[in-house]
Amino acid sequence: MHKIDMDLVEMTMDVMKYVIDRISNTKTTINKPKKAEELKALVGETITKSGIGGEKAFELWKEHLTKSNVPIDHPRHLAFVPASPTRAAIMFDLVTSASSIHGAYWMEGAGGIFCENEAMHWIVSLTGLPEGAFGVFTSGGTAANLSAIVTAREYWRGLDTANENKKGLVITSIGAHSSIKAMAKVADVDILLVDTEDVMTADALNDVISGLSASQRKRLFAVVATGGTTNAGIIDDLNGIGTLCEKEHLWFHVDAAYGGGALVADSVRHLFNGIEKADSITIDPHKWMFSPYDCGAVIYKKPELAKQAHSQEGSYLDIFKDEGAHGFNPTDYQIQLTRRVRGLPLWFSLAMHGTDRYKQAIERGIELANIAGEMITKMDHVELVREPSLSCVVYRRKDWTPDDYMQWTYRNHESGFALVTPTKWKTGNSYETVSRFCFINPDTTEDDIEQILKSMI
């Protein structure tokens, strides 16, 4: 397995050919999943005592298995938060794998971590956080949010011994991503929700804080605002919330996992004013910074607080803390020890193309959302639920039931035409099923949008 022979050389060529074909292919099909039993029937036993051989396994992958994956970068994949990694970043993902780098400690991964940090300096510069702020790349937004919540909780516990045995409390809004609630559970803290899916304002937050009982107020240690909600691209009142958090001595976390890429876009940058007040920020390069999966990031105003929360101790790790190995150790600032240098593909793509190209590609996503908004306004059968925000458009097909939306999604997916999925929008106490676009891929065309909207007639 670890020797070089002809089979390996041939397999390397086959793999490189596949990769070149895939990344230069501008006509991917949307594909749909098959059931596990169907896939099993197609490929048979693949894990056997003596192996089925690389050629056969790769054939099965190309012939059957890859066709059961939906390419996230298809220009008519406008569901969830899609992705569109640059070709340069994908290539360097291969280089990252081939280089076998342990990205936890500078001692072993200095070259790779240096590159990650170059990319991180650029991301941090977009936030306007003060000198000294810095971050690390994580497996995604969920891990970044967890790392930030744990840092905030540990900081709060360290402030007062009375906090040590208390269960912490965090306030966010119902527009926040599901990972905030899920990670609060992992960190064993309670969550209170400001009842809005629209902009969370400082006033609304203040009302919730004022309504807390004395014991709840003592347990409250953090507020999570969103810089681009997943459902509608809404940016909370970061300035007002940041100021309130300062006054109330609360940790201010901004989840900009999806929207963070738009910090580089001049047309919307003002919407993020106040993000520079954050104690921590999540931004996912694998969403709107065109990195391959997986690549999230967590940034801290005071990274030393994250280090106090996350730095692992063990006799086998002492060597990494030794003078001779001093340097930046990414493991100290988030939940993971062994890690891929997953910021490396982003670094290469940024270095190759320059940050202006990122600005243009992100502005294009915003422009596509505005174009879609205008088209929807002009068509009779659809209407906007709210104005487009960032690259999200939430709209309704007049007179449709939830089942109509579902059937339309399945039909489009089945025929390989598009992937656009329904969501729910909360107004007052009621939830309405609606449709939603999220634009990431700058190669999506106006014609794609028009065709999708017309397929709803």
- Which residues bind to ligand PLP, rule: CB under 6 A? 81, 140-142, 177, 179, 226, 230, 255, 257-258, 284, 296
- Provide the minimum distance between the beta carbon of 146 and ligand PLP in the complex, in angstroms, as a whole number: 9
Sign of the four-CA dihedral 139, 98, 64, 88? positive
Q: How far apart are CA 171 and CA 211, in angstroms?
A: 12
Q: How far apart are CA 448 and CA 75, in angstroms?
A: 8
Q: How far apart are CA 25 and CA 353, in angstroms?
A: 20
**Residue 268 neighbours by CB under 8 Å, 6+ apart:** 262, 366, 390
- Provide the minimum distance between the beta carbon of 124 and ligand PLP in the complex, in angstroms, as a whole number: 19
For ligand PLP, which is the closer residue by CB, 220 or 234?
234
Structure tokens at 307: 């280090």
Burial 329-341 (b: 16+ CB within 10 A, else e): bbbbbbbbeebbb
- Provide the minimum distance between the beta carbon of 82 and ligand PLP in the complex, in angstroms, as a whole number: 10
Q: How far apart are CA 16 and CA 207, in angstroms?
A: 58
- Provide the minimum distance between the beta carbon of 27 and ligand PLP in the complex, in angstroms, as a whole number: 27
What is the Rg, in whole angstroms, of the alpha carbon atoms belonging to the chain? 23
Number of C-beta neighbours around residue 433 at 10 A: 17
- Provide the minimum distance between the beta carbon of 298 and ligand PLP in the complex, in angstroms, as a whole number: 11
Q: How far apart are CA 286 and CA 89, in angstroms?
A: 10
For ligand PLP, which is the closer residue by CB, 64 or 426?
426
For ligand PLP, which is the closer residue by CB, 291 or 331?
291
- Provide the minimum distance between the beta carbon of 296 and ligand PLP in the complex, in angstroms, as a whole number: 5
For ligand PLP, which is the closer residue by CB, 91 or 438?
438
Measured between its terminal Cα atoms, the distance across the chain in Å is 57
For ligand PLP, which is the closer residue by CB, 79 or 375?
79
- Provide the minimum distance between the beta carbon of 395 and ligand PLP in the complex, in angstroms, as a whole number: 19
- Provide the minimum distance between the beta carbon of 355 and ligand PLP in the complex, in angstroms, as a whole number: 22
Question: Could you tell me where the beta strands, DSSP code E, fall in 168-260?
Answer: 169-173, 190-194, 220-226, 251-255
For ligand PLP, which is the closer residue by CB, 142 or 329?
142
Q: What long-range pairs does 210-218 form, CB within 8 A, spacing at least 24?
A: 216/169, 216/192, 218/162, 218/163, 218/166
- CA nearest 24: which of 94, 97, 92, 91? 91
